[in-house]
Structure 1
C-alpha cells in the first residue's frame, strides 16, 4: 500500500536536496504549475465532462465541508483563547487544504488520473473560491487591514485555472483538434512531479517547533477530525464504496494549502505558524493519507 506514496516522498526529497545543494527554484516551478500544468488539467478533465445537476450538487457539498471546517476552526481557536492575529492564522491553516498540488498527486497515485476531475471540482469551487473570498476577509480582519473587494474579485476571475475553466465551458460547444487534447494531457501530466518537487524546495526545518501547540491543533483538525466526521457521514448516509467518495475524503484530509500559506504571510498573519503548519502537514500526510486509503480500500 505504500507504493503509491513513495514516489511522492521521493519528489519531496529531491526538491529538498536540490534546494540544499543548489538553490530554491520553487517560485518558478509553482508559476509553471499555475500558468501551464493546472490550466491544462482543467481543460483535459472538464472538456469531456457533462456539467449537470450532479456536478452542482457536488460543488455545494464540497463547499459545506469546507465551511464546516472553518466554523470548527473558529470555535476551537476561541477555546484556545488565541488573539485575533493567531486566530485568523489558525483558521486559514486549519481549513484550506492543499487540494491541488498535493491532492491531485495523491489522487493520481492511489486512484488514477481519471478521478482527478473530482479533486479539480473540489479545488476550484471549494478550496480556491472560498479562500480568495471568505479566506481573504479573514486574513485582512486578522491583520487589522481593510478588505479590498475589487482585488478579491479580480484575483478570482483572472486566476489562470479559473480563467481556463470559463474558456473550456465555451469550447465545449465545438469539436477541438486532437493535437490540442494531446498537448493538454501532456502538460497536465507534469503537475504531480513538478508540484511535489516545488513543495520539497519549500520545506523548512528551522524553528519547526515554534508555537507547536497551535500548529498541532491546526493539523489535527484539518487532517484528522474533519475527515473522520465526513467519513462517518458518508458511511451513515451514502456508503464509501464509490471511488468519487474516497477521492472526496482524501481531498478533505489534505494538509494545509500552499497558496493559503503565501496569502497568510503576505497578508500579515503569523508567518511561523503558517509555514510550520504547511511543512509538518505535508510530511504528516504521507502517513495519514496512506492510513485513510488503506481503510477506504
Structure 2
C-alpha cells in the first residue's frame, strides 16, 4: 500500500511543481539525466547478478517486440476505419507500441509483486529499450523523413548508459564482489521510483485543446487491454514459464505508454499533442488497469 500511495503522491507532486513559478520549466530534464546516467545503471548492477539464466529470460525481452507488432497491426486497422495523416499514424504507433516498463513499470511491479520481481521487470525493460532504439526510432524516422539511418540507430543503442551498464553487469555477474557493492547500488537506485514518477508528471499537461478522442480511446484500449491480453494468450500457448516470469511478463506488457514515445513524437514532428494526451491519461488510467491485470493473473489464471 505504501508504494501505491507513493505513486499517487509523486504524480501529484509533479503537477504541483508545474505551478511553482521558481521551478524550471524543463526541470524534468535534470531528473531524467540522473535517472538515465545513475539510477537505471545502478538498477542493472543491483539486479542483473540475481537473474537465474535460463530459457525463460528471453520471453520478458521478446514480449515487448510483440507489443510493438500488435501496435503496427492496430494502426493499420484504424487507418482503414478512419483516414488519418502520417504524423498521427506515427504518434499512435509510438504510444501503443512502447511500454513504460521502468519509470512506471518498476514502481508498479514492486507495489504488486515485491522488489524481487524487479529482476524480471528489468528484462522487459531492456526489451522495451531495444524496441524504442530500433523499431521506435526507425519508424519515427520513416514517418518523418521517409528513410531510416542504420548508423543513427546503432549509435543510439551503444551509447545508452543503462544498456552499457546492463552489458557490464552481465560480464561481472559471476565475479566475487565486495560486501559494500549491493548496499551502494541499492542506495544509488533508490531515488529511481520517486524521481521517475515526478519527472513523468512534470511532462504531462492537460491544458492544450484536444479533439482526437477516438484516436485516444483506441490507443489506450490497445495498449492497456488488447496488447497484454494477446501476450498473455500467446505465452500460455507457446511457453512453459514459471509462474512469476509469466505474471511479470504479462504485467509489464500492460504498462502505460512510454514517456519517451511523446519525446520522440515531438522530436520527429509527429502528432505530439495526441501523443502527450495518450501518455498522460494512459499513465493515470494504468494505475487502475494494472490493478485489474494483477487480479486476473492472481485469481483467474494458473500457469
Would you say same fold, with TM above 0.5? yes
Aligned match of 1:214: 215
Instruction: Give the 5 Å matches for 1:17-166.
Output: 17-21=16-20, 22-23=22-23, 24=25, 25-124=27-126, 126-166=127-167
Contact kept? 2:28, 2:202, Cα under 8 Å: yes
- Quote the offset at 1:173 in angstroms: 4.2
Contact kept? 2:60, 2:245, Cα under 8 Å: no
Aligned match of 1:14: 13
Q: How many residues align?
A: 295
Aligned match of 1:5: 4
Contact kept? 2:49, 2:174, Cα under 8 Å: no
Distance verdict in 2 for CA 1:66–1:161, change over 3 Å: same
Counterparts of 2:115 and 2:209 in 1: how far apart (Å)? 34
Counterparts of 1:123 and 1:52 in 2: how far apart (Å)? 18
Partner SS for 2:194: helix
- Quote the offset at 1:112 in angstroms: 1.1
Aligned match of 2:179: 178
Q: Deviations over 1:166-208 (max 9, x none)?
A: 1112222421212222111111221111111111211201126
Moved more, 71-80 or 157-166: 71-80
Contact kept? 2:95, 2:257, Cα under 8 Å: yes
Q: Are 2:197 and 1:196 equivalent residues in the alignment?
A: yes
- Quote the offset at 1:217 in angstroms: 1.1
Structure-1-length-normalised TM-score: 0.91
Contact kept? 1:99, 1:251, Cα under 8 Å: yes
Counterparts of 1:206 and 1:72 in 2: how far apart (Å)? 28
- Listed as ranges, the gaps of 5+ residues in structure 2 are 299-303
Q: Deviations over 1:69-89 (max 9, x none)?
A: 333333333433222221121
Moved more, 268-277 or 232-241: 232-241
Q: Deviations over 1:39-96 (max 9, x none)?
A: 0001111123243333235433443343233333333334332222211211111111
Contact kept? 1:43, 1:164, Cα under 8 Å: yes
Contact kept? 1:30, 1:195, Cα under 8 Å: yes
Counterparts of 1:31 and 1:6 in 2: how far apart (Å)? 25
Contact kept? 1:101, 1:192, Cα under 8 Å: yes
Distance verdict in 2 for CA 1:15–1:230, change over 3 Å: same
- Quote the offset at 1:250 in angstroms: 1.6
Counterparts of 1:186 and 1:85 in 2: how far apart (Å)? 42
